[in-house]
Each structure stands twice: as C-alpha cells, then as structure tokens.
C-alpha cells in the first residue's frame, strides 16, 4: 500500500503565520500612508484575468508568459490566468471604466497576491505579494522621478538602511528597433560564446541577453553596444531630465546599462532598487518599475502615457524581520491582566472585558486557564502593572480585587466601578 502522505502547502507557496503578519502589516501601512500623501487611490482588480491580457501585455517571448503563468481553462471554455503582475490588470481596468475621462493623471495603488510558476528556491515564491503604484496620463519625466522617490521613501521609512537605485532607459518604438538590430548583429557574431538560454533569446528577446547572469555571457555583454548611446532625441532628453530631477532631490542612483527588466511593455525609464549591505554587496531587487507609454493602447485603450513600480513584500519583510530579531524587544504594553476563578466569575469576566474594550483600555486575559497561579504568572510574564482578580466570592458580591503586581498590595472595589478605578490608576 502506498504510504499515506500528509497534505502540505503547494510547492513554492507559503502560509503567512501570525508572526509574519506584523511585518506585512507594517509594509501595508507605510504603503497606504504614502499613497494618501502622494494622492494615489486604491484599486483592487481580480486575481484571475483572461490569459490573453498578459500574453499581449507582458509579451509572448518573456519568461513570465512563456514559463511562469498559471493558465487554466474555465468550465465555460475561457482561458484564464492567475495574475503574474499587477500592471496589465490595472491598465485593463483603467480603460474598461473610462478613467481616461477623469482629470489626468490618474494615480492608482494596489497590494495583494501574485502568482508565478518559478523554480522553487529561497526567497522566490510561487504565490508572493507586491505593493504596486501606477500613474496614467502624464508623460512628463517628473513622474518617473517621483515614482522612484515614492518607493525610495517607503524603503527608508521601513528602515531599509542603504537602498540604492539603478536606472536605465530602454528607448521607445522610435529608437529601440534600430538598437535591437545592432544588438542582434553584435551577439550573432559571437553566438558561440553565449549560454544556451541567450542563444534562444537572440531569436525572440535579444534585450534579455543584457541581464543574463551566466558567467559565460559576461565578457560578451561587456563589449555590447549600449542603448543610451542610441536613444532618439526625445528619449535622450527625457532620460536626462529624470536624472536631473533625481539630482535635485538628492536621491542616490547608479546608471546600469544592462538593466532591461523582464517585460516587453517598458519604454524609456526602467529602474530597480536594491539594498546594499555594509560590504557593498547588492542584495535582491526590492522594487522594480518603469514607464510604459505604449501599453494602454496595445491593450485596446486610448494612447495614454503611464509609469509604475512594484515593491516585493516578502523580500522587504524578510529584511525587517531580520533587523527586528537583532533589536531589543521593548517592554510589553500590557498594563492590566484579568484573572478569573470559577464558572460565574468567568462569565462576569467576559462581560467586564467588553466594558474595558468600550472604554478603550487594553486588558489581557487567559480565559482558558483555570488556575489562579498560572494566570498571575502570565500577568507577571507580560509585565502587567495590575492584575484584576475575580473569584467566586467576588462574583457573588459584585466586587473585584485589584492587585498591584509590583508591591503585591491588594484592594477590593465594586465591580461596576473597576473600569473607572483602573483608568484613574493608569493616569497617575
């Protein structure tokens, strides 16, 4: 008989346990405060979209569409996909809801799960989360700089010590085709020196050769023509302006001529943000984004310039979690602990607990414990200043004991006065 296996989470997917939630929540709070400050409104699009939206938008020859999409056929016969990124769905919604009729620019932000069928490895999940910002209807370079600034500020606020921005321009429909030709000619003359993947990329997606990390491809890459030398006038001045804005706000950045990002839809500016360690080691990319002036039209909308970026929640959470481990845990803020003994007292305690909640005075409890000794020990461990003790006798008499945890001194007060009494004590 086959060995019975325990059901586990699907490969590459993970549970967000209560101890993870505090870091996720922190990131989401910073994101929503930042969104409010910069005038972004929240949008939630479905987790599932028509598969064609992504193959058209992200590009057929990209890794995401080629290998990493969860595609399935619904009972009605539609080809659907779990969203592998936010932008395509938000572009669809922008057009579908006629948001081009609103005063431009339209600024939208989202957060939530995304799905990619990655090879399982540390820090790469098949279900992962992002915080995503998009601006529609503005072609000015100031938007690109502000997009970078928004993510940079979020990382700083999350206490990421040394965020470093890498930036490049990958041109547009006017200048990129010519550069692509140059690049293909160059790589074709050195095809035997490229890795297997890159030889394939040469036919379908030559730009991607530039961000190949294979040892073998590095010397070939180093001699390749760089797109910044082949930008058209418009792209060149746009890129120059973005860099000038970044200089103006004193935001540190590095030019990276190999940065192309894995998606077809980018035009002009592309950027990524990393954390750099004290040893100047570049970590995983925490944020990625860029301009995509052709995508809205490509997906059937009006010709609308746009720019966006996304922050990887798991990766940032990992960094702040590791930092938190090193920090001294501040003393617990639990001041009051409610102990109960006996059935009647337990019932009264539940009611009393609600009164404290209404008075907005935080109280800890462990209703599931019956021993007074255990409860007082818990109160002590939590660093409570006062324990409230409600026993059988007190419950019958309508009173309760307030115990000063430091001195051990106890006093009995009327049950209906205890919330007020405690408020008085806490104010002192």
Residues that bind Zn ion (CB under 5 A): 171-172, 174-175, 195, 198, 212, 214, 217, 232, 235
Query: Which of 215, 278 has the CB closer to Zn ion?
Result: 215
Q: Which is nearer to Zn ion, 216 or 420 (CB)?
A: 216
- Give the chain's radius of gyration (CA, Å): 29
CA distance 150 to 195: 37
CB 43 within 8 A of CB 109: yes
Question: Is the CB of 17 or the CB of 196 nearer to Zn ion?
Answer: 196
Helices within 158-217 (DSSP H only):
176-188, 196-204
What minimum distance in Å lies between the beta carbon of 167 and Zn ion? 16
Min CB(214)–Zn ion separation in Å: 4
Exposure of 139 in the CB half-sphere (CA atoms within 13 A): 12
**How many C-beta neighbours within 10 Å does residue 281 have?**
9
Q: How far is CA 350 from the centre of its chain?
A: 38
Task: Give min distance, CB of 236 to Zn ion, in A.
Answer: 8
Antiparallel, parallel or unpaired: β 79-82 and 48-50:
antiparallel
Between 214 and 276, CB nearer to Zn ion: 214
CB of 192 to Zn ion, least distance (A): 12
Those residues whose C-beta lies under 8 Å from the C-beta of residue 374, and which sit 6 or more positions away, are 366
Q: How far is the CB of 378 from Zn ion (least distance, A)?
A: 58
Q: Are strands 399-404 and 386-390 parallel, antiparallel or unpaired?
A: antiparallel
Least gap, CB of 173 to Zn ion (angstroms): 8
Choose between 47 and 228: whose C-beta lies nearer to Zn ion: 228
Of 92, 81, 258, 54, give the one whose Cα is nearest residue 169. 258
Residue among 131 and 198 whose Cβ is closer to Zn ion: 198
């Amino acid at each position: 008989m086959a060995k019975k296996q325990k059901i586990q989470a699907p490969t590459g997917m993970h549970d967000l346990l209560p101890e993870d939630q505090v870091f996720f929540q922190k990131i989401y709070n910073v994101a929503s405060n930042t969104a409010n400050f910069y005038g972004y409104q929240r949008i939630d699009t479905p987790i599932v979209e028509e598969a064609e939206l992504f193959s058209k938008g992200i590009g057929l020859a990209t890794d995401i569409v080629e290998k990493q999409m969860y595609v399935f056929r619904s009972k009605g016969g539609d080809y659907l996909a779990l969203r592998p990124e936010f932008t395509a769905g938000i572009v669809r919604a922008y057009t579908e809801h006629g948001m081009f009729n609103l005063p431009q620019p339209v600024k939208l932000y989202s957060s939530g799960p995304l799905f990619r069928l990655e090879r399982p490895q540390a820090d790469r999940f098949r279900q992962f989360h992002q915080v995503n910002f998009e601006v529609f209807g503005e072609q000015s370079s100031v938007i690109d700089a502000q997009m970078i600034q928004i993510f940079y500020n979020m990382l700083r606020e999350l206490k990421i010590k040394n965020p470093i921005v890498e930036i490049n321009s990958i041109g547009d429909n006017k200048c990129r085709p010519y550069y692509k030709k140059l690049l293909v000619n160059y790589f074709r003359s050195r095809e035997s020196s490229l890795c297997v993947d890159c030889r394939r990329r040469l036919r379908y997606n030559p730009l991607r050769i530039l961000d190949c990390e294979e040892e073998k491809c590095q010397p070939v890459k180093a001699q390749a023509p760089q797109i910044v030398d082949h930008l058209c006038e418009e792209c060149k001045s746009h890129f120059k302006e973005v860099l000038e804005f970044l200089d103006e706000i004193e935001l540190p950045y590095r030019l990276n001529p190999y940065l192309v990002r894995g998606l077809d839809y980018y035009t002009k500016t592309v950027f990524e943000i990393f954390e750099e360690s004290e040893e100047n080691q570049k970590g995983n990319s925490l944020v990625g984004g860029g301009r995509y002036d052709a995508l809205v039209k490509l997906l059937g909308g009006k010709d609308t310039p746009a720019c966006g970026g996304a922050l990887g929640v798991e990766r940032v959470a990992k960094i702040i979690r590791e930092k938190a481990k090193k920090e001294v845990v501040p003393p617990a803020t639990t001041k009051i602990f409610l102990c109960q003994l006996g059935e009647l007292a337990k019932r009264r305690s539940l009611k009393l607990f609600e009164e404290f909640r209404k008075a907005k005075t935080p109280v800890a409890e462990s209703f599931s414990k019956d021993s007074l000794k255990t409860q007082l020990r818990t109160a002590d461990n939590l660093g409570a200043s006062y324990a409230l003790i409600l026993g059988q006798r007190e419950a019958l008499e309508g009173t309760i004991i307030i115990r000063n945890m430091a001195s051990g001194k106890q006093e009995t007060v009327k049950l209906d006065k205890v919330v007020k009494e405690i408020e008085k004590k806490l104010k002192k």
